[in-house]
Structures are given as C-alpha cells and as structure tokens.
Amino acid sequence: MKDTFLSNGKGYYGDFGGAFIPEMLRENVESLRKVYFNIIESDAFKKEFHDLLVNYAGRPSPLFLAKRLSEKYGAKIYLKREDLNHTGSHKINNTLGQILLARHMGKRRIIAETGAGQHGVATATVCALMNMECVVYMGETDIERQEPNVRRMEMLGAKVVPALSGNKTLKDATNEALRDWICNPEDTFYIIGSVVGPHPYPDLVARLQSVISEELLWQMKKAEGTEDPDYIVACVGGGSNAAGSFYHYLDRKNVKLIGVEASGKGVDTGLTAATIAVGEPGIIHGSMTMLMQTDDGQITEPYSISAGLDYPGIGPLHAWLAGSGRAQYMNATDQEALHAAYELTRLEGIIPALESAHALAVLGKLELKKEDVVVVNVSGRGDKDMQAYINARSLFNVNLEGRR
C-alpha cells in the first residue's frame, strides 16, 4: 500500500524523518502538526485550493507527447509541463496551499527561505494575492547572484533580508528563517519550499504537490488508455517536484520511479550535490535523512550549476524510497544537464529550467524499450537560466550530435 511509503503519524519514513528541533521551536512545530492534516483534508480547504490551482496557477498542467524526443530515445516520452504554471515552476502549488493553511490558522505574517529565489518569488506572489506581510531570507551571496528574482520579490511587496552567516547561501537563509520563527511564534507562519524540515513539513508539502500525480492518473488514462506509465522521472533538490510526481504511484510497483540528483562536476570530485550517491544518514534542518557530511559529521558544502538542486540534504521520503529500493536515484553532471537543455530546446521548442534538465539528462541511461512509456516532469522553465545557457553555447555546438 501507498501508506508504507508515506510517513507514519510521527513523521517517520522508515528510519528517516521525525522532528529533531530545539526546545524553542517545539511550540511552533507542534501547533502546526496538530492542525495541518484536518485543515488540508477539509472540504472547504480543498475547494479553495483547487479553485486557485485552476484559475490562478493555470492547472492542470498539460501532459505533452514529445514526438521528436521520443524518436531520439526510442520510447514514448511525455512531458508533464509544470514549467507552464504561474511563476514558472511547480513551487506555486506548495505556496498556494501553505498560505491558505496559514490563513486558516489565523496567521498574518509569512516568512520563507530561498536559494535561487524561485521559492521566494512564489511566496511573495501568494502573499501579494492574500494581502499578507512577507519576509524572505536569502543568503547574501545568492542575493548578488540572483538579482532579477530579488527585484521581483521586492516588486511583489516582500522584504528580502540577507543572511550573513556561513557561506551566505540557502542553508544559512534557512537558519535565519528558523531564528525569526522562534522570535515570532504567535503571528508568523513559515512557508518551507520543499519536502524537507521537521515533521509535518515533508508530509504537508508532499500532499500539496501531489496534485501533479493526481493529474497524471487521468491524463495518462486519456492518452494511453492506462493510468500507469513505465517510468516517472523527476529531478531532486529537496525533492518536492519528485514527491508530487511519484505520490499517487508509490504503491504501483509496475511504475518505475526515477529521481535525478545533480552530480555537479561528478560524484567523486567533491563538487557535487548528489546526496543519495555520496551522503550518510544525519540530521539537517530538523529531519533525519541522507546528508552530505564529513567523517566527523560536519555538513559538506554542496555544488551544482543549478541553484535549485544545490542542497546538502534531501527530503526524508526520498531517503526512504532509496533505502527501500522503491525508487531509483540517478544523477547528471552540469555538462549533461546543459546538453539535455539544448536538446529539448532544439527538438521540442521548450527551454527547461536547469533543474529540470537534469531529469531529461538520464533518458539516454535508462535502456528504454520501444513500447516503454516515460513521463518526465519538467519542473520549471529556463528563463532564469539564460546566462548559464549562453555561456555553454560553444560546448553544446561541439558535442550535441555525439551525445547519447
């Protein structure tokens, strides 16, 4: 049953998950844990959430048969077009759901962490929509690297606060957001951007993102006469778009689930973000999961060309899916992702986000048969990554034809 792979009442996925938090956060997390399930499973919430997903975010996102890509890889390849959502990725599914939850809980102030800025923009967007105060914590290094997203958040009315500790990136922004939450337990709701953090966040975010596979069931039935593809492939940073694409297929063992991590310069180079490949069990941001760390347990800095995949941990659900063998975790390097992005662009006229390009990059490694049906989740669009694509153009011109 699917419940085998979902968290138990205490937020454990096998040995992973839980809520390993300091005493000062316990009250905040407990008050969320007590109410989240009943609220998001209520008819009133579901109706409002569905209405916003349809009329605001633009769902359902299409399931597109990519004919030229299919021809190239010798299988039937469908693209789940999360890139077509409002704000350009799957992140809006989660932020719409969490801000409705915040409102049901009577909260008036929203905080969030962001790395590349995509989750920050999606959060600032729903705060404008719901007329709520919005504070986004972002590492100072990321603020410099992601200026357009900082300006978008500000235009939407959010206050962007630089995180100045550590190496001033996502991990440090998350620490700042947690600190804020401890100081403002009464009126503040913390919108986390992926299936990470202490219970109940991994379960909450997975449920909100599960709309992706809920749509896949009927879209596949309509396109192929069966709800089940042979493969579902999604990139994994924290793992929310993958969790959403896998969710309703977890108990259907005939559907192979493939998560794709970013291996950066290569899994053995020390410049990588492939947590399942190189990590060991450990605790990060309140959750027991797989974690990139040194022998004495210090968190290792992750690296990927893709800012959205550049996280040293992974959602506990994925640690468990990997450990139990239910899902397989592959990885793709910076170069493989860049090639895959150019390939999709030239074959189908779709410029994917660099994150999504990692998922596309493993198509050649799956040993597909002609009758196989594959769904690749295109988690976001590539506008934000144009500079990286332009920088890589010469590389692509030389190598694309020879690529498998």
Interaction with ligand PLP in 318-357: which residues (CB under 6 A)?
353, 355-356
- Determine if 279 is a binding residue for ligand PLP (CB under 6 A): no
**Which residue's CB is nearer to ligand PLP, number 76 or number 313?**
313
Q: CA-CA distances (angstroms) from residue 37 to 10, 59, 314? A: 12, 23, 23
User: Interface with ligand PLP includes 156 (CB under 6 A)?
Assistant: no
Size of the site for ligand PLP (CB under 6 A): 18
89 contacts ligand PLP (rule: CB under 6 A): yes
Per the annotation, the verdict on 379 as an active-site residue is: yes
Near ligand PLP by CB under 6 A: residue from 240, 287, 289, 333: 240
The pattern of x and - marking residues 36 through 55 that bind ligand PLP according to CB under 6 A reads --------------------
DSSP 149-211: HHHHHHHTTPEEEEE-STTSSHHHHHHHHHHHHHH-TTTEEE--SSS-SSTTHHHHHHHHHTH
Looking only at the bridges linking them, the beta strands covering 231-235 and 188-190 are unpaired
Do 202 and 315 touch, CB atoms closer than 8 A? yes
331 forms beta bridges with: 261
Ordered alpha helix ranges (H), 56-133: 67-73, 91-104, 118-130
- Should residue 98 be labelled a site residue for ligand PLP when binding is judged by CB under 6 A? no
Exposure string of 110-124, with b = 16+ CB inside 10 Å and e = fewer, is bbbbbbbbbbbbbbb
Alpha carbons 378 and 361: distance in angstroms, whole number? 12
CB atoms closer than 10 angstroms to residue 395: 13
- Identify which of residues 28 and 194 has a Cβ nearer to ligand PLP in the complex: 194
SS3 at position 222: helix
Rule CB under 6 A: say whether 380 interacts with ligand PLP.
yes
Q: Answer yes or no: 113 catalytic.
A: yes
Judged by CB, which is closer to ligand PLP: 235, or 257?
A: 235
C-beta of 236 vs 375, nearer to ligand PLP: 236
Verify binding: residue 304, ligand PLP, rule CB under 6 A. Answer: no
Name the minimum Å distance from CB 214 to ligand PLP.
17
Minimum distance from residue 402 beta carbon to ligand PLP (Å): 27
Active-site pick, 91, 107, 168, 384: 91
What are 256's two structure tokens?
């192979």
Q: Is 235 in the site for ligand PLP (CB under 6 A)?
A: yes
Per CB under 6 A, 245 contacts ligand PLP: no
For residues 156 and 136, give the distance between their C-alpha atoms in angstroms, rounded to a whole number. 12
Cα separation, 228 vs 256, whole angstroms: 10
For the bound state, the minimum distance from the C-beta of residue 119 to ligand PLP, rounded and expressed in Å, comes to 6
Q: Provide the binding-site residues for ligand PLP, judged by CB under 6 A.
A: 89, 91, 118, 194, 235-241, 308-309, 353, 355-356, 379-380
Give me the active site residues, please: 91, 113, 379
